[in-house]
Structure 1
Amino acid sequence: MPHMQLKLLILDRDGVINEDDPGYIKSPEEWIPIPGSLEAMGELTRAGWSLVVATNQSGVARGYYNVETLNRIHARMYKAVNEAGGHIDAVFFCPHGPEDNCGCRKPLPGMILDIVRRYNIQPADCIMVGDSQRDLECIVAAGGKPILVRTGNGAKTEAAGKLPAGTLVFNDLAAVARHLLSGN
């Protein structure tokens, strides 16, 4: 039996799974799913995809919320995804601010490389769905495949016209799921 290739999809959080807020998502109550995103995650999970979230959370460094609150926000996200029949395998987050010079803050590829190590896969087998330039640059820097959604900051990112070569663009996570599940 050839062993099954892990199908891993890396998702940015704000603007991809849930509505983005320029003032930061600072409480579980402010975490609002984008229509269709939870159902899409359910369909992907049922089709054998492993879903991992990779999110910059500089609001921690900035003092807008602490890690305990971030965990409560993520607990709400896990529960909502589970109720839609989906499963988030793990959440990777960078709690640092732009001036901390860490390697895990997107657009640097540190978070993706951590995920690659954790799942023992090749970066080229990674697909990341994001709504911002830094998401796309981060996965490309790691050697993976970028997908842009037009939700969150995605339409603005697309209009800026600096997408890395080979970036696929979809209206939202539900459209990404339809594409991936159609076998393309």
Structure 2
Amino acid sequence: MFYLGTQEAIEYLSQRFIIIGVTNQGGVAAGHKNMASAIEEQRITLALFPQISEIYFCPNSGESCYQVCRGNEPLEFSAPLRGDGTKISCRKPGYGMLLLASRPLAEPKDCIMIGDRQEDKDASDACGIKFFWASVLRNEQDWKNLK
């Protein structure tokens, strides 16, 4: 389910930002769906929103995540490490996926995150990424002012 105005907001924001999706997929670990269906869901999202460059998803308890891009097989990434060698969970509210998605492109402080759950905000805050609630997508003036 997408907020009304999401398509227009993503179109506009893609002219200012690289758009990357980041999603927990707990249904895989819980046995409600399999990896193939989780991957297909991400591919469908990429087809619906061509401005999204890639999607990272975590189907497990946080030890790894997957990157889905158009035309390529999904890539698995291990959870990134802190300076002390401990893993940063990829499962939100952990912020491992956010680091993996942002690091090749920008410093987290130069990114924004739009989310609809408290775990999204918690991950964003822990990573040092500016957070906006998804309801911002409902009002054109609001999403045109995102920085």
Shorter-chain TM-score range? 0.7 to 0.9
1:89 equivalent in alignment to 2:75: no
Q: 1:173 matched to which residue of 2?
A: 137
- Segments of 4+ in structure 1 off by > 6 A? none
Compute the TM-score of the two structures, normalised by the length of structure 1: 0.59
1:122 equivalent in alignment to 2:122: no
Between the aligned partners of 1:51 and 1:140, the Cα distance in structure 2 is: 19
Between the aligned partners of 1:52 and 1:178, the Cα distance in structure 2 is: 22
1:37 equivalent in alignment to 2:28: no
Alignment of 1:63-74 (within 5 A): 63-74=31-42
Stretches of structure 1 lacking an aligned partner (at least 5 in a row): 1-18, 20-32, 150-170
In the comparison of the two structures, how many residue pairs are matched? 124
Between the aligned partners of 1:40 and 1:174, the Cα distance in structure 2 is: 9
- For residue 174 of structure 1, report the CA deviation from its aligned partner: 4.1
Relative to structure 1, is the Cα distance of residues 103 and 138 closer, same or farther in structure 2, using a 3 angstrom cutoff?
same
Alignment of 1:45-84 (within 5 A): 45=14, 47-82=15-50
Between the aligned partners of 2:133 and 2:122, the Cα distance in structure 1 is: 11
Relative to structure 1, is the Cα distance of residues 183 and 115 closer, same or farther in structure 2, using a 3 angstrom cutoff?
closer
- For residue 172 of structure 1, report the CA deviation from its aligned partner: 4.0
Determine which of 113, 138, 155 is the counterpart of 2:99.
113
Answer whether contact 2:93 2:120 (CA < 8 A) is retained: yes
Between the aligned partners of 2:145 and 2:133, the Cα distance in structure 1 is: 18
Compute the TM-score of the two structures, normalised by the length of structure 2: 0.72
- For residue 180 of structure 1, report the CA deviation from its aligned partner: 4.5
Q: CA RMSD in A?
A: 2.4
Identical residues among aligned pairs (%)? 30
